[in-house]
Amino acid sequence: MSDLKGKKIFVTGGSRGIGSSIVKILAKKGATVAFTYSSREDSAAQLLSELLSLDSGAGHFYLQMDLAKEESVKSVVEQVLTKFIDIDGVVNNAGITKDGLLLRMKTEDFDSVIQTNLRGGFLVTKGFLKPMLKARKGSIVNITSVIGQTGNAGQANYAASKAGTEAFSKSIALEVASRNIRVNCIAPGFIATEMTQTLSEDVRKQILSKIPLERIAEPEEVAYAAAFLLSDESKYMTGQTLSVNGGMYMG
C-alpha cells in the first residue's frame, strides 16, 4: 500500500505532532524525507535518529525554518533543492493557532496566524513549484482543518487561514494539472497532539460529543492519508480535500 520507494519529499513542521508522524510513515514507506522544525531542534534530532535506523537509507535530514519569515523559507527551499533536485512531494503541515473571540482578538494575532499558515504555505509551494514544473511531476499536500470547513467560535483567524489554504490549493491545482502536478488537502478533525492538549476537559467533552466515531484520532491516521496522496495510487486525484475527522463533518 502507498509505496513511496525512491521518492524525495519535504515536510514542514516535522518535529512533533502530525508532522512527525507524517515524516515517520513516509520514511517507513521508502521515501527520503527532508523536514523542518521551528524552535525544537531536540525533537527534530530525536526524529532523525529514529529515521536513520530504518531501511530507507541515510538521506533524511532536517532544517530550521520560520514560516512567517520569507527569507527563512527561501533559504530552506534552496538548501532542500540542492539535495532533492528532482523533488517528488511537499507536505505543508506546520501551523499555529492564536485563539480568541473576535472582539478580543489582537490584530497581530490575526496577522501572525494568516502569515504562518496561509502565506507560509504560499511561499513554500511557490519555491518548490518551479523544479516540479520542469520535471513534470509532483504531489503537494496541504494540511488544513475541519475548522476551515465549519468555522469555530474563537478561531476566526485559524478558520480563515485553513479555508484560504483550501481555496489556494484548488487554484494551484488548476494552474499545474497539465504538468502532471497534483495539489490536494487533508482536513483533520480532532487529533491528539500538543495543539489540542491544552483544551479544557469541558471543551474536550463537547468536541467528543460531535464525533460519530467517538474518539480523538492519533496523528498516524492523518499520516496514512498523506502517504496515499503522495503516492502514485492517488494519481487521478487533484484539487480534493480528504477529511480525516471521524465523521465530525461530512462535506
- Phi/psi of residue 140, each to 5°? -110, 130
Place of cell 502536478: 181
The site that binds ligand NDP (CB under 6 A) totals a number of residues, namely: 30
Of the residues 2, 10, 11, 15, which one makes contact with ligand NDP according to CB under 6 A: 15
66 near ligand NDP, judged by CB under 6 A: yes
- 156 CB-side CA count, 13 A: 11
For residues 88 and 9, is the Cβ–Cβ distance under 8 A? yes
Our CB check for ligand NDP shows the closer of 137 and 222 to be 222
Our CB check for ligand NDP shows the closer of 4 and 217 to be 217
CB of 178 to ligand NDP, least distance (A): 29
96 near ligand NDP, judged by CB under 6 A: yes
CB of 136 to ligand NDP, least distance (A): 28
39 near ligand NDP, judged by CB under 6 A: yes
CB of 170 to ligand NDP, least distance (A): 18
Of the residues 123, 191, 223, 227, which one makes contact with ligand NDP according to CB under 6 A: 191
Angle between helices 70-83 and 120-135 (to 10 degrees): 30
Q: What share of the chain is helix, strand, coil (3-state, %, to 5)?
A: 50, 15, 35
CA–CA distance, 192 with 42 (Å, rounded to integer): 21
Within 98-137, the residues that bind ligand NDP by CB under 6 A are: 116
Q: Which residue is nearest to ligand NDP (CB)?
A: 17
Cell triple for 164: 484560504
164 near ligand NDP, judged by CB under 6 A: no
Can you give 164-230 as a three-state secondary structure string? HHHHHHHHHHHHHHHHCEEEEEEEECCECCHHHHCCCHHHHHHHHCCCCCCCCECHHHHHHHHHHHH
4 near ligand NDP, judged by CB under 6 A: no
Active site residue 158: yes
Q: Which residues bind ligand NDP (CB under 6 A)?
A: 12-13, 15-19, 37-40, 43, 65-68, 93-96, 116, 143, 145, 188, 190-191, 193-196
Q: Which residues are tagged catalytic? A: 158
